[in-house]
Amino acid sequence: MAMDNKGWNASQLRNCDLQFDEIPRLHHNDPKVDELMSENKPVVVLGSNLAKSAEKWDLDYLERHMGESDFTVFQSKSHKFKYYDDKKVTSGDGFVPPTKKLDMKLPEFIKRLRAWKKGEDRLYLQQGLNNTVGPAIVHDFLNFDWNFCTGKQSKHNWGSLTSNLMLIGMEGNVTPCHYDEQENLFAQVHGFKRCILFPPDQFECLYPHPVHHPHDRQSMVDFDRPDYNKFPKFRQAKGFETVVGPGEVLYIPMYWWHHVESLMQGSYTVSVNFWYKGGPVSVSYPLKGHQKVAVMRNVEKMLLDVLQDPKEIPVLLRAMVLGRYT
């Protein structure tokens, strides 16, 4: 494969019907970085040392230093790892979990990663960084450039850091399109990930599952084979994309949709994210896209609370809107 100077090439990206604009890639000293972040817009920050102490996290190092405890590893029969909230799975609703959640020691995970052949079940390690990891990893973690991320946290009035997720994925793994209710500094450590982002106001083009569904916050659209009869507005979705490599940090604003794929025919990938609670809500009109998403979530939660049976929610909403508001 002819590798361009950037370390990857377009043949490693999955096909997608949509066209995307590029997410800006700026040096960490560029004042435009904070301009974009204060407008809740995504930006790739280059040259920060946010997770520089993790650049030695290759499989050998991790095998030697990740400690003896079990880590959370998801297993999938496809390349997709669609997240689901197991607390929202109710018996009899016919939900079939698309992934299996395993507890695995790191040497076992690495052995299976190395032995993996295309077509076999895939694995994705997704483990919150806490004191169960070995002392060397804790040391590297403490050596992250906390001035950088804490600086962003205070400059943009984010809430507290809630967690850091360590992600070790196989080439070609995909986290399908979803949004999170937290600000995210996504640090790419090893390998390359293509990230496709959509602003919160594209809600109607991305068809999220109902709030009470296990796949709450995830898009119902299969990006590999979109069903344009069920999801006609998906054609109008207007996204932004970038490929992040080692040492690069992508700011994923709260409520922004994102699809993340480890490049095909690439190396395994290592990422560490920094999830922060959102800042204080300043209501001004017209409401911003993400605030309307929050309102719709509250309406769905309230209706479920009072109606109890989820099947009654669309009935009541249609009765309220059709012929009256449309």
Ligand X SMILES: O=C(O)C(=O)C[C@H](CCCc1ccccc1)C(=O)O
Q: Is the dihedral of CA 170, 176, 182, 183 positive or negative?
A: positive
216 binds ligand X (CB under 6 A): no
189 binds ligand X (CB under 6 A): no
23 binds ligand X (CB under 6 A): no
Please work out the total of residues on this chain that contact ligand X, with binding judged by CB under 6 A. 12
One of 52, 79, 152, 178 touching ligand X (CB under 6 A): 178
Q: Pick what 167 binds: ligand X, Zn ion, none; C-beta below 5 to 8 Å, kind-dependent.
A: ligand X
Q: Is the dihedral of CA 26, 28, 29, 34 positive or negative?
A: positive
219 binds ligand X (CB under 6 A): no
Alpha-carbon separation of residue 177 from 26, 67, 78, 221 (angstroms): 24, 32, 15, 8
270 binds ligand X (CB under 6 A): no
Q: Which amino acid is at 308?
A: Q
Ordered alpha helix ranges (H), 167-269: 203-206
In the bound state with Zn ion, the residue whose beta carbon lies nearer, of 192 and 256, is 256
Q: Roughly what angle, to the nearest 10 degrees, separates helices 31-38 and 146-155?
A: 50
76 binds ligand X (CB under 6 A): no
At residue 151, φ and ψ (nearest 5 deg) are: -60, -45
Tell the smallest beta-carbon distance from residue 319 to Zn ion (Å): 35
| Closest residue to Zn ion in the complex (CB) | 180
184 binds ligand X (CB under 6 A): yes
Tell the smallest beta-carbon distance from residue 180 to ligand X (Å): 5
Rg (CA), the chain: 20
Tell the smallest beta-carbon distance from residue 217 to ligand X (Å): 7
Stretch that binds ligand X, among 131-139, 180-188, 197-205, 284-292 (CB under 6 A): 180-188
CA dist., res. 8 & res. 172, Å (int): 13
Tell the smallest beta-carbon distance from residue 260 to Zn ion (Å): 7
CA dist., res. 326 & res. 230, Å (int): 20
Binding site for ligand X (CB under 6 A): 83, 126, 167, 175, 178, 180, 184, 186, 258, 260, 271, 273
